[in-house]
Amino acid sequence: MNLLCSIKNFYYRLSIRIKLTICVVLAAMIPVIIIAVMYSGRLYDMMIADTIRGQQVATDAIAPQVEASVASVMDCMDGIRSQGYYRKLFEEPLKEPPLALSESESAEAFADYIQTLVDRTPLSAVRFYLSLPAAEFDFFSSDASEDLFVPEAGANGTYWHGIFRSGNYTALHCPPLYLGPREAAVYGDCAYICRSYLNYKNSLYPCYIALYYPSDIYTDVLTDNLTQPDSVSYIINERDATVAATDASLAGIYRLNYSEIQHSLLSSNSFIEKDVLGNRVYAAFHYIPNANWLMVTVTPKGPLIETTHRTVTAFIAISASCILAAIGVGLTLTRSLTSRISSLIGQMTSVRTGTFVPMPEPQMKDEVGELIATYNYMINTIDQLMRAQEKSAEELRISEFNALQAQINPHFLYNMMDVVNWMVLQGKAQEASSVIQILARFYKLTLSRKNSAATIGEELEHVNTYMQLQNMRYPDSFVFVADMPDELSNYQIPKLTLQPIIENSILHGILETESKTGTIVITGWQEENDICILVSDDGVGMSGDVLSGILSEQNVHRTKGTNIAVCNIHNRLGLLYGEGYGLHYESSPGKGCEVTIRIPMIRRAVIEKE
């Protein structure tokens, strides 16, 4: 107990510099010590197991790709069998000589379909081997290499032909070994071949439909599977013939026969350790069901052990170097930290007595330097920040209130409801329905956006809907023209900027004329990095005294309502973008009014990001 108390007291008396140095050294040493104690005997096994697990994951990932490649070839065969010409040849008794049928339009369409398969699928060629008597039928062209239908004699001597002749096979997935040299050179080194029969004059003539394709469709997938050097992946069939391999020589060295793999596959579907020609290897197997193939991935154990040795040695060397470097760096860095912290503590202690004296500006711009700079800034500007925060909060509250106030004009809604009611009482149900639909669209555009920004194009759509409603309320009293360049449509504008201005043009401009009709035009252009939007009307205009106070909240000279909406818009634009942005009015009595809106160019992408 006394020893523990002595150690604790000794630790309490240590300086921060020594404590930080001890922490840095322990942080570097403890993981190394824990790994050495807990995993020293299992480190090699863990690294090998992790490597094997990575290879297993890669193997599991590519097995479906191999199956999909096989399935794509088989799907091509199903597509061929679904063709009408194929059914006439092989599924129905022939009622006319094959030569006549080969010259029909359906034969031409069938040939085009085959060519489409070759162009758009892994297939490289399709051939029909027919056993027709040459004396009775003239079904083949002189150039057999280009003909879709060739004599069965062209397949004589091939391994696959012998398998069909000696067994009761209806379909066969053929690796390169099964094909003749000419087939592999001209058509492709793999094939999917099905046997069928041609029924003519009550006799059945066997025929073989061969779909040729390159083995590269499997080799490319197998190559992506390998994660370790000296590893090999290959595919074999039930006769131990190689379908594809990433390395033919390694596939021969680490060759496993089909029956042996089947036995291992029953016991495990993950990597197992085997002895192949005196070499210890890890092998994994995957069964490819639609072709009855087995995919094998073999990783030699020797290179894995060597890699593990090098990794462990490098880990030990790096750990020792890190510990030594940690001691030196810890002493150096903690010294630079603790000296400045001590100075800052002394300076902050003086604050308790009410002395606010800033420290010399720090030369180092690290965390401690930033702390000193922040302390100086706090001492010098805390009062200004508090006042600015209060002002900013008040302006934000007013701006949000004004924006919400400008969103919906309840009087406009009441008036439109009166219009709908009058139309219903007059029996104009169709016109009332149109008003309601357009009104719904108007308020959907008004209320559906979550942020306070829209695009110029969306604002024009909103205004156009509003003008439709006004022309229903005051039948065809207003002409609305929007002449906005397309390149400006995707730039930002605060939501509900245009509609209150248009409403003022109608209520306080056009409707105050004798005819109570008029035109409103909206256009826009770019000025350097700003966008200017001009809204003009041919209403009664304004006198000089009204014009001078139009953007003032104190101006209440108009007979219908106030100018609070446009004043809010002007203030919102100023708060958002700064001085120089907002509204500018030009007008004279009897000559209409022009309102220029100036905003900065901000694209839609910025709006969506925000």
Torsional sign, CA 3, 6, 12, 13: negative
Closest CA to 252 of 241, 263, 262, 264: 241
Q: Which residues contact 455 (CB under 8 A, 6 or more apart)?
A: 489, 490, 491, 492, 493, 604, 607
| Band (120; pLDDT cuts 50, 70, 90) | very high
| pLDDT over 50 at 482, yes or no | yes
Average pLDDT of the segment spanning 332-343: 69
d(CA 540, CA 233): 87
Q: Which residues contact 528 (CB under 8 A, 6 or more apart)?
A: none
Q: What was the pLDDT predicted at 561? A: 47
Q: What was the pLDDT predicted at 103? A: 73
Q: What was the pLDDT predicted at 96? A: 73
| pLDDT over 70 at 99, yes or no | no
Within 352-409, residue ranges assigned H as helices are 367-407
CA distances from 313 to 39, 44, 310, 324 (A): 15, 11, 5, 17
| pLDDT over 80 at 344, yes or no | no
DSSP code for 591: S
Average pLDDT of the segment spanning 209-231: 88
Average pLDDT of the segment spanning 487-505: 88
Asked if 73 and 291 count as a contact pair (C-beta separation under 8 A), the reply is: no
d(CA 494, CA 456): 9
| Band (88; pLDDT cuts 50, 70, 90) | confident
Asked if 271 and 48 count as a contact pair (C-beta separation under 8 A), the reply is: no
pLDDT in tens, 303-327: 777 777 777 777 777 777 777 776 7
Measured from the Cβ of residue 388, the count of other Cβ atoms closer than 10 Å reads: 11
Q: What was the pLDDT predicted at 11? A: 67
pTM score > 0.95 for this model?
no
Asked if 281 and 251 count as a contact pair (C-beta separation under 8 A), the reply is: no
Q: Which long-range contacts (CB under 8 A, 24 or more apart) does 417-420 make?
A: 419/472, 419/473
Closest CA to 302 of 224, 228, 222, 227: 228
d(CA 390, CA 325): 51
| Burial (CB count <10 Å: 0-12, 13-18, 19+), residue 127 | buried
Average pLDDT of the segment spanning 164-169: 88
pLDDT in tens, 173-191: 999 999 999 899 999 999 9
The amino acid present at 470, given as its one-letter code, is Q
CA distances from 493 to 222, 384, 461, 504, 522 (A): 56, 32, 13, 19, 14
Beta-sheet pairing, 518-527 with 478-483: parallel
Share of the chain above pLDDT 90, in %: 23
| Band (141; pLDDT cuts 50, 70, 90) | very low
More confident site: 401 or 480: 480
DSSP for 252-318 reads HHT---HHHHHHHHHH-SS-EEEEETTEEEEEEEEEETTTTEEEEEEEEHHHHHHHHHHHHHHHHHH
Asked if 130 and 205 count as a contact pair (C-beta separation under 8 A), the reply is: yes
**Residue 233 main-chain phi, psi, to 5 deg:** -125, 140
d(CA 104, CA 550): 85
Q: What was the pLDDT predicted at 396? A: 61
